[in-house]
């Protein structure tokens, strides 16, 4: 077997899943989806390595957010989906929106049942 191919013989699904779990649950789900989308498990190894290596460039928190966003709109995200989310920075937008709505709810005026004369 060529030297480059021997390196892949050390990899298996459990190793990728345990690596992904250290990043987060959504990342683990994405890796599991990538592995199960191929007829032969080894065909998904390069994609898995690509997704997991995005931590070096973007960080674990952003990768986890990107995986969550990708899972929200497709049941089987790919490396390209995750990479596009991270490059565009749309993983950051969701966290800003959730912070903004939490602040808005804190200062909003909501009428309760007492206002309308009903009992709780």
Total residues belonging to the chain: 120
The per-residue pLDDT for range 22-61, each reduced to its tens digit, is 999 999 999 999 999 989 888 889 999 999 999 999 999 9
Dihedral angle, C-alpha 99, 103, 109, 112, nearest 10 °: 60
In whole angstroms, give the CA distance from residue 83 to residue 80: 5
The per-residue pLDDT for range 62-119, each reduced to its tens digit, is 999 999 999 998 889 999 999 999 999 888 876 555 555 555 555 556 666 676 776 6
pTM score = 0.71
Return the residue matching tokens 């994405």: 30
Residue 76's contacts (CB-CB under 8 Å, 6 or more residues apart) are 33, 34, 37
In whole angstroms, give the CA distance from residue 96 to residue 91: 9
């Amino acid at each position: 077997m060529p030297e480059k191919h021997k390196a892949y013989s050390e990899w298996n699904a459990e190793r990728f899943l345990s690596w992904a779990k250290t990043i987060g649950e959504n990342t683990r789900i994405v890796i599991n989806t990538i592995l199960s989308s191929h007829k032969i498990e080894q065909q998904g190894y390069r994609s898995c390595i690509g997704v997991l290596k995005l931590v070096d460039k973007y960080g674990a928190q952003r990768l986890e957010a990107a995986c969550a966003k990708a899972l929200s709109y497709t049941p089987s995200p790919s490396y390209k989906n995750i990479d596009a989310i991270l490059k565009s920075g749309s993983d950051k937008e969701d966290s800003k929106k959730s912070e903004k709505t939490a602040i808005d709810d804190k200062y909003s005026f909501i009428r309760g049942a007492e206002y309308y004369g009903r009992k709780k």
